[in-house]
Amino acid sequence: MYKTRLKSGDTVKVISGKDKGKEGKILTVDRKNGKVIVEGVNMVTKHTKPSAANQQGGIVHQESALNASKVMYVHKGKPTRLGVKVVKEDRNGRTKNVRYRIAKSTGEVID
């Protein structure tokens, strides 16, 4: 398991590789292999055979997996690192530790 604080739906910016500088939303996160698939980034050409689902077959352009270390979370238009802040809160009469993701550059809570 690779440690990453990225989630599906986060907006990220590519910081290295052939697509450096591109931004997009994360479609999927593979924590087992430390990979993410970002919308419109790392496009590959795939040749598909005709099947029941795809009668035509042919050439398909789709996103490929990208190493999670090559992307940074975008907070207020700027790429930033992510951290975790643990806060004790009262919920339903019990004190619980709640984890929040924070932007390291500003210290603001993301979610």
In the predicted model, what is the mean pLDDT of residues 53-64?
90
Structural domains of the chain ordered from first start: 11-50+58-103 (2.30.30.30)
Distance between CA atoms of 82 and 60, rounded to whole angstroms?
34
pLDDT of residue 3: 86
Residue 20 backbone phi and psi in degrees, to 5? -55, 130
Q: What is the pTM of this model?
A: 0.83
Q: How confident is the model at residue 1 (pLDDT cuts 50, 70, 90)?
A: confident
Distance between CA atoms of 15 and 20, rounded to whole angstroms?
5
**Mean pLDDT of all residues belonging to the chain:** 93
Is the predicted pLDDT of residue 55 greater than 90, yes or no? no
pLDDT of residue 2: 82
∠ at Cα 9 (16, 88), nearest 5°? 105
